[in-house]
Structure 1
Protein backbone atom coordinates (compact mmCIF):
# COMPACT_ATOMS: atom_id res chain seq x y z
CA UNK A 1 0.00 0.00 0.00
CA UNK A 2 1.17 3.51 -0.81
CA UNK A 3 2.64 5.07 2.36
CA UNK A 4 0.92 8.39 1.64
CA UNK A 5 -2.48 6.67 1.40
CA UNK A 6 -1.74 4.83 4.64
CA UNK A 7 -1.06 8.14 6.40
CA UNK A 8 -4.19 9.75 4.97
CA UNK A 9 -6.47 6.85 5.94
CA UNK A 10 -7.28 8.31 9.41
CA UNK A 11 -8.12 11.66 7.82
CA UNK A 12 -10.34 10.06 5.19
CA UNK A 13 -12.12 8.06 7.88
CA UNK A 14 -12.58 11.12 10.09
CA UNK A 15 -13.93 13.19 7.22
CA UNK A 16 -16.41 10.50 6.25
CA UNK A 17 -17.53 10.17 9.87
CA UNK A 18 -17.97 13.93 10.16
CA UNK A 19 -20.00 14.02 6.97
CA UNK A 20 -22.23 11.16 8.04
CA UNK A 21 -22.69 12.62 11.52
CA UNK A 22 -24.47 15.65 10.13
CA UNK A 23 -21.93 18.23 11.22
CA UNK A 24 -23.76 21.54 10.88
CA UNK A 25 -22.69 23.30 7.73
CA UNK A 26 -24.97 24.97 5.30
CA UNK A 27 -24.67 24.78 1.55
CA UNK A 28 -23.83 28.47 1.73
CA UNK A 29 -20.73 27.65 3.83
CA UNK A 30 -19.56 25.12 1.24
CA UNK A 31 -20.20 27.56 -1.59
CA UNK A 32 -18.28 30.29 0.22
CA UNK A 33 -15.32 27.95 0.81
CA UNK A 34 -15.38 26.85 -2.84
CA UNK A 35 -15.36 30.48 -4.00
CA UNK A 36 -12.46 31.24 -1.63
CA UNK A 37 -10.45 28.36 -3.11
CA UNK A 38 -11.24 29.40 -6.68
CA UNK A 39 -10.24 32.99 -5.87
CA UNK A 40 -6.94 31.85 -4.35
CA UNK A 41 -7.91 33.01 -0.85
CA UNK A 42 -7.22 29.52 0.54
CA UNK A 43 -5.04 26.60 -0.44
CA UNK A 44 -6.54 23.18 -1.06
CA UNK A 45 -6.55 20.89 1.96
CA UNK A 46 -4.09 18.46 0.36
CA UNK A 47 -1.58 21.28 -0.22
CA UNK A 48 -1.84 22.49 3.38
CA UNK A 49 -1.45 18.94 4.71
CA UNK A 50 1.76 18.60 2.68
CA UNK A 51 3.06 21.86 4.17
CA UNK A 52 2.33 21.05 7.82
CA UNK A 53 2.68 17.27 8.06
CA UNK A 54 6.14 17.49 9.62
CA UNK A 55 4.96 20.08 12.14
CA UNK A 56 2.06 18.07 13.52
CA UNK A 57 2.58 16.08 16.74
CA UNK A 58 0.72 13.00 15.46
CA UNK A 59 -1.98 11.71 13.10
CA UNK A 60 -4.75 13.94 11.76
CA UNK A 61 -8.12 12.54 12.88
CA UNK A 62 -10.34 15.48 11.91
CA UNK A 63 -10.35 18.75 10.03
CA UNK A 64 -12.57 21.82 9.72
CA UNK A 65 -12.35 24.90 7.56
CA UNK A 66 -13.50 28.01 9.39
CA UNK A 67 -13.56 31.72 8.85
CA UNK A 68 -12.17 33.51 11.92
CA UNK A 69 -12.12 37.29 11.97
CA UNK A 70 -12.30 37.44 8.18
CA UNK A 71 -9.41 34.99 7.67
CA UNK A 72 -9.79 31.35 6.67
CA UNK A 73 -8.31 28.75 9.03
CA UNK A 74 -7.97 24.99 8.80
CA UNK A 75 -8.41 23.42 12.22
CA UNK A 76 -6.77 20.02 12.43
CA UNK A 77 -7.58 17.64 15.25
CA UNK A 78 -4.44 15.59 15.87
CA UNK A 79 -3.91 12.53 18.06
CA UNK A 80 -0.36 11.84 19.21
CA UNK A 81 1.28 8.54 20.12
CA UNK A 82 0.49 9.04 23.81
CA UNK A 83 -3.24 9.48 23.19
CA UNK A 84 -3.23 13.25 23.64
CA UNK A 85 -5.56 15.28 21.43
CA UNK A 86 -4.53 18.62 19.91
CA UNK A 87 -6.28 21.34 17.92
CA UNK A 88 -3.87 22.84 15.40
CA UNK A 89 -5.00 26.06 13.69
CA UNK A 90 -3.37 26.71 10.32
CA UNK A 91 -3.76 29.78 8.10
CA UNK A 92 -5.60 28.44 5.04
CA UNK A 93 -3.80 30.77 2.64
CA UNK A 94 -0.19 30.62 3.83
CA UNK A 95 -0.17 27.18 5.44
CA UNK A 96 1.48 28.62 8.55
CA UNK A 97 0.65 27.06 11.92
CA UNK A 98 -0.99 29.81 13.98
CA UNK A 99 -1.57 28.04 17.27
CA UNK A 100 -1.64 24.64 18.90
CA UNK A 101 -3.84 23.73 21.83
CA UNK A 102 -3.91 20.45 23.74
CA UNK A 103 -7.46 19.33 24.48
Structure 2
Protein backbone atom coordinates (compact mmCIF):
# COMPACT_ATOMS: atom_id res chain seq x y z
CA UNK A 1 0.00 0.00 0.00
CA UNK A 2 1.36 3.39 -0.88
CA UNK A 3 1.93 5.91 1.84
CA UNK A 4 -0.79 8.15 0.40
CA UNK A 5 -3.37 5.37 0.48
CA UNK A 6 -2.36 4.38 3.99
CA UNK A 7 -2.75 7.97 5.18
CA UNK A 8 -6.13 8.16 3.43
CA UNK A 9 -7.23 4.97 5.20
CA UNK A 10 -5.99 6.28 8.53
CA UNK A 11 -7.80 9.59 8.07
CA UNK A 12 -10.94 7.72 7.00
CA UNK A 13 -10.75 5.62 10.14
CA UNK A 14 -10.35 8.74 12.26
CA UNK A 15 -13.42 10.25 10.62
CA UNK A 16 -15.40 7.06 11.26
CA UNK A 17 -14.50 7.16 14.94
CA UNK A 18 -14.57 10.92 15.50
CA UNK A 19 -17.35 12.40 13.40
CA UNK A 20 -21.05 12.56 13.98
CA UNK A 21 -23.41 13.00 16.90
CA UNK A 22 -23.04 12.55 20.63
CA UNK A 23 -23.51 8.83 20.08
CA UNK A 24 -20.44 8.77 17.84
CA UNK A 25 -18.52 10.70 20.52
CA UNK A 26 -19.66 8.14 23.07
CA UNK A 27 -18.47 5.29 20.82
CA UNK A 28 -15.15 7.05 20.32
CA UNK A 29 -14.74 7.50 24.06
CA UNK A 30 -15.59 3.83 24.68
CA UNK A 31 -12.95 2.78 22.15
CA UNK A 32 -10.34 5.06 23.71
CA UNK A 33 -11.10 3.73 27.20
CA UNK A 34 -10.83 0.15 25.91
CA UNK A 35 -7.36 0.95 24.50
CA UNK A 36 -6.32 2.62 27.77
CA UNK A 37 -7.47 -0.44 29.78
CA UNK A 38 -5.58 -2.75 27.44
CA UNK A 39 -8.76 -4.46 26.21
CA UNK A 40 -7.95 -3.66 22.58
CA UNK A 41 -4.92 -2.73 20.53
CA UNK A 42 -4.79 0.74 18.97
CA UNK A 43 -6.06 0.93 15.41
CA UNK A 44 -2.65 2.08 14.13
CA UNK A 45 -1.07 -1.15 15.43
CA UNK A 46 -3.79 -3.30 13.89
CA UNK A 47 -3.48 -1.57 10.50
CA UNK A 48 0.30 -1.80 10.56
CA UNK A 49 0.26 -5.54 11.23
CA UNK A 50 -2.48 -6.18 8.65
CA UNK A 51 -1.01 -4.20 5.79
CA UNK A 52 1.36 -6.95 4.66
CA UNK A 53 -0.98 -9.84 5.48
CA UNK A 54 -3.99 -8.72 3.46
CA UNK A 55 -2.21 -7.55 0.33
CA UNK A 56 -4.63 -4.76 -0.50
CA UNK A 57 -5.66 -1.20 0.27
CA UNK A 58 -7.62 -0.51 3.45
CA UNK A 59 -10.59 1.75 2.70
CA UNK A 60 -12.67 1.65 5.89
CA UNK A 61 -12.68 0.56 9.52
CA UNK A 62 -15.35 0.04 12.16
CA UNK A 63 -14.99 -1.09 15.76
CA UNK A 64 -17.86 -3.18 17.06
CA UNK A 65 -18.66 -5.19 20.15
CA UNK A 66 -19.73 -8.68 19.02
CA UNK A 67 -20.50 -11.62 21.29
CA UNK A 68 -18.70 -10.01 24.20
CA UNK A 69 -15.51 -9.09 22.34
CA UNK A 70 -14.25 -6.07 20.44
CA UNK A 71 -13.87 -6.66 16.70
CA UNK A 72 -12.39 -4.37 14.06
CA UNK A 73 -14.29 -4.69 10.77
CA UNK A 74 -11.75 -3.74 8.12
CA UNK A 75 -12.87 -3.05 4.57
CA UNK A 76 -10.24 -3.30 1.85
CA UNK A 77 -9.69 -3.68 -1.87
CA UNK A 78 -7.58 -6.70 -2.79
CA UNK A 79 -4.90 -6.73 -5.50
CA UNK A 80 -7.58 -7.38 -8.14
CA UNK A 81 -9.76 -4.49 -7.00
CA UNK A 82 -12.39 -6.65 -5.29
CA UNK A 83 -13.97 -5.53 -2.05
CA UNK A 84 -12.93 -7.63 0.92
CA UNK A 85 -14.07 -7.40 4.52
CA UNK A 86 -11.95 -8.74 7.39
CA UNK A 87 -13.02 -9.28 10.97
CA UNK A 88 -10.08 -8.80 13.33
CA UNK A 89 -9.98 -9.51 17.06
CA UNK A 90 -9.24 -6.05 18.48
CA UNK A 91 -7.36 -7.49 21.48
CA UNK A 92 -5.04 -9.93 19.68
CA UNK A 93 -4.98 -8.69 16.09
CA UNK A 94 -5.94 -12.16 14.83
CA UNK A 95 -8.03 -12.30 11.66
CA UNK A 96 -11.27 -14.02 12.67
CA UNK A 97 -12.74 -14.28 9.20
CA UNK A 98 -13.60 -12.38 6.09
CA UNK A 99 -15.93 -11.91 3.17
CA UNK A 100 -15.06 -11.32 -0.46
CA UNK A 101 -17.25 -9.13 -2.60
CA UNK A 102 -17.47 -8.17 -6.22
CA UNK A 103 -15.39 -5.68 -8.08
TM-score bucket of the superposed structures, by smaller chain: 0.7 to 0.9
* Displaced runs of 4 or more, over 6 A: none
Q: How many positions carry a matched residue from both structures? A: 101
TM-score normalised per structure 1: 0.79
Structure 1 vs Structure 2 CA RMSD: 2.7
> 5+ unaligned residues in a row in structure 2: which ranges?
none
Q: Does residue 81 in structure 1 map to residue 79 in structure 2?
A: yes
Q: 1:50 to 1:83 in 2, by over 3 A?
A: same
Output aligned runs, 1:87-98, within 5 Å: 87-98=85-96
Shift, 1:18, TM fit: 4.5
1-structure distance, mates of 2:53, 2:21: 27
Counterpart in 2 of 1:102? 100
Shift, 1:68, TM fit: 0.6
> 5+ unaligned residues in a row in structure 1: which ranges?
none
Cα deviation code 1:66-95 (max 9, x no counterpart): 111110111110012322001101110101
Q: 1:78 to 1:36 in 2, by over 3 A?
A: same
Q: Is the 8 A contact 2:18 2:28 kept in 1?
A: no
